[in-house]
């Protein structure tokens, strides 16, 4: 198939320059989103999911800096860096924005809101408490589409109806605090959809909601996604959410994507021990008696990531070689939708010929090689 991806992220790197050192929050991630596809970005807290989402929109605040990578969207360069050629002056090459990269002004007027919308976990951060919900949606529509007051209002009411808010005319006149958490999240979805963007980036929009309301919102998203053919990048730490709505999944650990596959492949032919650990820590409807196995240890700091494979100190399958070799993302299986492959960054696979088989197993928390919980708790 010669279809081009809608969004293409290549080797994206975002760092925070703090007093304690450089936080490599997003450290060279690559993934694609095709039209109408729901793509998950999943991982524990601190993995770099939100920073990745904000980077794509070029909304990273100081001290954060996008230091490298390419992001293209519908053929436009949202982010693109190239090395300067300073062979004459003798200066070391520098990374500079490439010719053709959209300006800040173009990002604001042509991309954000119109083409790519973003929804956050806390709707109260996106909604102004002193204005009515309706006026905020109307204003957003007016800002991005050439519509009269009247038409924009009608559209806003229509969108509220569309996301399942009862009595939308009445609700239009109400303030954000008069809405429940789930209803507020519906409002944000209405706002995001109002400009018919091709892509919506959703950063844990259902995490704060109770399970029933979350389920309703996920159903709504699936319904709207089918109707409008909007693509989504869905940020979550919850494998249950991934199972429910995603087509394709990227698993992040400490700034890197460590596994990438179609959702069924990821669940039934898991290739990375970290993904396996995430799945084991999640309740499964098909295993009623199974105990949950939380992942051992905590994710290390992104300032000083472990050597070799970043997951090796917590990995039940870690061997000596894992401490030395930093695995890139390699193909471990074919047959994805749209001809895409299953990739994993783990040297236990044949795609890596670095001597995993003959390497000595490592003793760590996950392999039971030393006591867990140095504070005394785990030593029973
Ligand atoms: N403003 C900042 N200054 C310094 N470090 C930051 C800043 N924002 C994020 N980071 C760091 O970047 C890394 C990635 O953070 P990010 O918020 O993307 O994680 P996340 O995967 O979204 O986690 P969560 O599930 O908790 O939202 C973390 O180590 C975090 O501490
Ligand atoms: Ni986040």
Bridge-based pairing state of the strands 330-333 and 76-83: unpaired
How many angstroms is it from 231 CA to the middle of ligand 2? 20
| pLDDT, tens digit, 9 for 90 and up, residues 273-328 | 999 999 988 776 555 555 667 777 777 778 889 999 999 999 999 999 999 999 99
- Please write the tens of the pLDDT for every residue from 21-55: 999 999 999 999 999 999 999 999 999 999 999 99
Ligand 1 proximity of 272 Cβ (cutoff 6 Å): no
CB of 26 sitting under 6 A from ligand 1: no
Ligand 1 touching residue 24 (CB < 6 A): no
Instruction: State whether the beta carbon of 25 lies less than 6 angstroms from ligand 1.
Output: yes
Residue 312 φ/ψ, nearest 5 degrees? -60, -35
Among residues 36, 34, 40, which one has the least CA distance to residue 4? Answer: 34
The complex's ipTM works out to: 0.99
Q: How far is the CA of 237 from the centre of ligand 2 (A)?
A: 9
Ligand 1 pocket member 45 (CB < 6 A): yes
Least Cα distance to 295 among 320, 275, 309 occurs for 275
C-alpha to C-alpha distance for 230 and 208, rounded to whole angstroms: 24
Pair 231, 198: CB distance under 8 Å = yes
Nearest C-alpha neighbor of 247 from the set 256, 230, 258:
230
Residue pair 100/80 in contact (Cβ under 8 Å)? The answer is yes
Chain centroid offset of residue 237 CA? 9
List the Cα angle 57/217/221 in 5-degree steps: 55
Q: What share of the chain is helix, strand, coil (3-state, %, to 5)?
A: 30, 25, 45
> Is residue 56 lining ligand 1, measured as CB closer than 6 Å?
no
Tokens of 70: 């390419």
Q: Which residues surround ligand 2, an ion (CB under 5 A)?
A: 49-50
Nearest-atom index, ligand 1, CA of 302:
29
Ligand 1 mean position, distance from CA 51 (Å): 6
Helix (H) or strand (E) holding 203: strand 199-203
Q: Which residues contact 97 (CB under 8 A, 6 or more apart)?
A: 80, 81
Measured CA angle at 208 (ends 202, 209), to 5 deg:
100
Give, using CA atoms, the residue closest to atom 27 of ligand 1: 45
pLDDT tens for the chain, 380 residues: list them. Answer: 458 999 999 999 999 999 989 999 999 999 999 999 999 999 999 999 999 999 999 999 999 999 999 999 999 999 998 887 766 777 777 888 888 999 999 999 999 989 999 998 887 888 999 999 999 999 999 988 888 999 999 999 999 999 999 999 999 999 999 999 999 999 999 999 988 899 999 999 998 888 999 999 999 999 999 999 999 999 999 999 999 999 999 999 999 999 999 999 999 999 999 999 999 887 765 555 556 677 777 777 788 899 999 999 999 999 999 999 999 999 998 766 777 899 999 999 999 999 999 999 998 878 776 544 444 333 33
CA of 236 to the centre of ligand 1 (A): 14
Predicted TM-score (pTM) of this structure = 0.91
Which residue from 308, 344, 347, 311 is spatially nearest to 329, judged by alpha carbons? 344
Of 232, 248, 218, 299, nearest in space to 46 by CA: 299
Pocket flag, ligand 1, residue 257 (CB < 6 Å) = no
Measured CA to CA in angstroms, residue 95 lies from 66, 243, 256 at distances of 11, 39, 21
User: DSSP letter string over 66-104?
Assistant: EEEEEEEETTEEEEEEEE---TTTTPPP-EEEPTTBPPH
Structure tokens at 181: 């958490």
Find the 23 Cα to ligand 2 centroid distance in Å: 15
Residue written as token pair 């029973």? 380
43 in contact with ligand 1, CB cutoff 6 A: yes
Q: Compute the CA torsion angle 60, 64, 68, 73 (nearest 10 deg).
A: 0
Alpha helices of 116-210 — where are they, by DSSP H? Answer: 123-126, 133-144, 149-162, 168-172, 181-194
Q: What is the DSSP pairing of strand 95-97 with strand 76-83?
A: antiparallel
Ligand found nearest the CA of 49: 1
Contact 41 CB / ligand 1 (< 6 Å): no
Please indicate whether residue 49, judged by its CB atom, sits closer than 6 Å to ligand 1: yes
Please enumerate in sequence order all residues whose Cβ is within 8 A of that of 197, keeping only pairs 6 or more positions apart, or say none: 113, 114, 115, 116, 117, 230
**Tokens 């999640």 sit on residue:** 282
């Amino acid at each position: 198939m010669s279809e081009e991806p809608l969004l293409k992220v290549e080797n994206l790197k975002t760092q925070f320059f703090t007093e304690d050192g450089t936080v490599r929050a997003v450290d060279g991630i690559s993934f694609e989103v095709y039209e109408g596809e729901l793509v998950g970005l999943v991982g524990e807290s601190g993995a770099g999911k939100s920073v990745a989402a904000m980077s794509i929109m070029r909304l990273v605040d100081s001290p954060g800096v996008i230091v490298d990578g390419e992001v293209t969207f519908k053929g436009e360069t949202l982010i693109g860096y190239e090395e300067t050629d300073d062979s004459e002056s003798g200066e070391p090459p520098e990374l500079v924005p490439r010719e053709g990269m959209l300006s800040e002004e173009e990002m604001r007027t042509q991309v954000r809101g119109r083409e790519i919308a973003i929804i956050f976990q806390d709707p109260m951060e996106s909604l102004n408490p002193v204005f009515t919900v309706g006026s905020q949606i109307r204003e957003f529509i007016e800002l991005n589409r050439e519509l009269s007051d009247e038409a924009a209002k009608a559209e806003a009411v229509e969108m509220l109806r569309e996301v399942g808010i009862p009595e939308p005319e009445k609700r239009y006149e109400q303030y954000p605090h008069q809405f429940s958490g789930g209803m507020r999240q519906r409002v944000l979805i209405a706002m995001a959809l109002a400009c018919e963007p091709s892509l919506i980036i959703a950063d844990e929009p259902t995490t704060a909601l109770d399970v029933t309301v979350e389920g309703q919102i996920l159903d709504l998203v699936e319904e709207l996604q089918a109707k409008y053919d909007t693509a989504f990048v869905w940020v979550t730490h919850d494998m249950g959410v991934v199972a429910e709505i995603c087509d394709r999944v990227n698993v992040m650990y400490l700034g890197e994507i460590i596994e990438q596959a179609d959702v069924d492949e990821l669940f039934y032919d898991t290739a990375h021990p970290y993904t396996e650990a995430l799945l084991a820590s999640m309740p499964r409807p098909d295993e009623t008696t199974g105990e949950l196995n939380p992942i051992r240890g905590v994710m290390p700091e992104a300032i000083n990531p472990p050597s070799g494979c970043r997951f090796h100190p917590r990995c039940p399958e870690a061997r000596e070689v894992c401490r030395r070799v930093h695995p890139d993302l390699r193909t471990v299986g074919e047959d994805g939708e749209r001809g895409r492959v299953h990739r994993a960054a783990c040297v236990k696979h044949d795609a890596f010929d670095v001597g995993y088989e003959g390497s000595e197993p490592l003793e760590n928390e996950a392999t039971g090689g030393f006591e867990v919980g140095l504070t005394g708790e785990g030593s029973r």
